[in-house]
Amino acid sequence: MAEPRIQYAQTTDGVSIAFCVMGEGPPLVHIAPAFPHLQLEWQIPKIRAWYERLAQRRKLIRYDWRGQGLSQREIPPSPESSVLDLEAVVGSLGLDRVALLGPWHGGPLAITYAARNPERVSHLVLWCAYARAADLTAAAQLQATRALIDRDWDTYAEAVAHLVFGWSAGDEARAFATLIRESTTPEAVQMGIRAMSEVDVTALMPQVQSPTLVLHRRGLRGLNVDVATGLASRIPQARLAILEGTALMPYLDDMESVAATIDEFLNEGEEPAAQAELPEGMAVILFADIADSTALTEELGDAAFREKARELDASLRVIIRECSGTPVEGKVLGDGVLAVFTSARQAIECALRCNGAGESVGLQLHLGIHAGDVIREGNNVYGGAVNIAARIAAASPPGEVLVSDTVRSLARTSAGVTFDDRGEHGLKGIEEPQRLFAVRGGADG
């Protein structure tokens, strides 16, 4: 998914608020996180994967608070002005009804907006949120980092980033520290802490009329499960979902479980989105499989590898749809993703983009493309052509796209790429040898 275009909305008190829109479908407004920066968030793979996952079936709207990120900087935020920021973004898009996702400090704002605008909020999702500052019993580590804000801003940013991503995290934690430094200033953080200490929206909770989902992680430090149960018990039509894990950010631990729970809740009462129908007959088949998954599981540990694999799977399915393909939702073997296309050019473009997605999360892919007849059965496709595509993927070196001679013939005049002849290969379980070609970018010669 391409980096979203930054737009600006004007608040009623004259402040410019940066926002962007991703995807298509019913609108979901993601209230800004603690350290917002629309551009720098996009450059951190785990955060980008979270936004791409939410935008698979919805129009996702993100924005930066006033005084932070790409929004107007010289105006400090407050609980009341934050409502004006949200109103400006929703109003600039002409949206009559939206779903709201309020994470952590965004929870009180989401509750306030939903209580004041019951006709405009279709659903309310609260993620690891609270209603009053007294509920936020921050961990001792977080309290200690606050002492660094004025004394050593760079060290504060590094400490918060490693608290979020884990002390063993490398590049992503450093990138998040950079985001913190670019998003805000020490003075703004101190003002935000003082403003946060006055937050109390408990009186508004009974006024919320929208169906509400309260999501929380069982092992989260500094905001225990009792806070979540209190929210769910005081908001009418609220339900509670407790997920396993310890991470405050939804894009860490099991991101897919968070996104799937939100999807299920938001989809209730809506007309189901039209699903692309899998073809039967002639199709171009792309198979992508994570390289060296067994070795990586041993190296990273099963939980860490599965998190990376889920993140990559979500990104690949977004890319497939953007390239006019249909990802097969049925179970496939191993860590593979199977997709079908009506065009060899689209399949090749998709494979090249999938390569980049794998590199962004530190996982390389085996990628193979073949064309032939497929048989549709429910949410899956079968047939000899599917098997050949999988075997071609298995034969491809990590990070390279191999295609059959059939695909090369279909795409040689339209795909804008060149092909290196890799000779005939005997593929496991395939009787006849297959002549394979490696895809190279550039104008076709």
Task: Give me the percent of the chain exceeding a pLDDT of 90.
Answer: 38
- Which of 57-66, 273-282, 319-328 is predicted least confidently? 273-282
pLDDT in tens, 38-93: 999 998 888 999 999 999 889 999 999 898 999 998 777 788 889 999 999 999 99
- Widest CA span in the chain: 73
Kindly tell me if the per-residue pLDDT of 147 is higher than 80: no
Decide if 153 contacts 161 (C-beta within 8 A): no
In this prediction, residue 279 carries a pLDDT of 55
The mean of the pLDDT values for the chain is 84
| Residue 144: pLDDT band with limits 50, 70, 90 | low
In this prediction, residue 269 carries a pLDDT of 53
In this prediction, residue 275 carries a pLDDT of 47
Alpha carbons within 13 angstroms on the beta-carbon side of residue 242 total 13
Sorted by sequence, the CB contacts under 8 Å of residue 377 that are 6+ apart come out as none
Give the integer Cα–Cα distance in Å for 193 and 185: 12
pLDDT in tens, 362-390: 888 999 999 988 887 766 777 888 889 98
Give the integer Cα–Cα distance in Å for 111 and 126: 9
Average pLDDT over residues 203-207: 95
In this prediction, residue 38 carries a pLDDT of 93
Angle CA(63)–CA(38)–CA(65) in degrees, nearest 5? 40
Average pLDDT over residues 180-191: 85
pLDDT in tens, 285-317: 999 988 888 888 888 887 778 777 877 887 788
Kindly tell me if the per-residue pLDDT of 255 is higher than 90: no
Kindly tell me if the per-residue pLDDT of 274 is higher than 60: no
Give the DSSP letter string of 280-306: -EEEEEEEEEETTHHHHHHHH-HHHHH
In this prediction, residue 291 carries a pLDDT of 87
Give the integer Cα–Cα distance in Å for 176 and 162: 9
Question: Which CATH architecture best describes the domain 281-441?
Answer: 2-Layer Sandwich (3.30)
In this prediction, residue 432 carries a pLDDT of 82
Beta bridge partners of 290: 365
Decide if 359 contacts 329 (C-beta within 8 A): no
Instruction: Say if pTM beats, i.e. exceeds, 0.75.
Output: no
**What is the third-level CATH fold of 7-267?**
Rossmann fold (3.40.50)
Kindly tell me if the per-residue pLDDT of 220 is higher than 60: yes
Task: Give me the percent of the chain exceeding a pLDDT of 70.
Answer: 90
In this prediction, residue 208 carries a pLDDT of 95
3-state secondary structure 33-61: CCCCCHHHHHCCHHHHHHHHHHCCCCEEE
- Which of 2-6, 248-252, 427-431 is predicted least confidently? 427-431
In this prediction, residue 273 carries a pLDDT of 44
Query: In the chain, where are the structural domains located?
Result: 7-267, 281-441
Kindly tell me if the per-residue pLDDT of 328 is higher than 60: yes
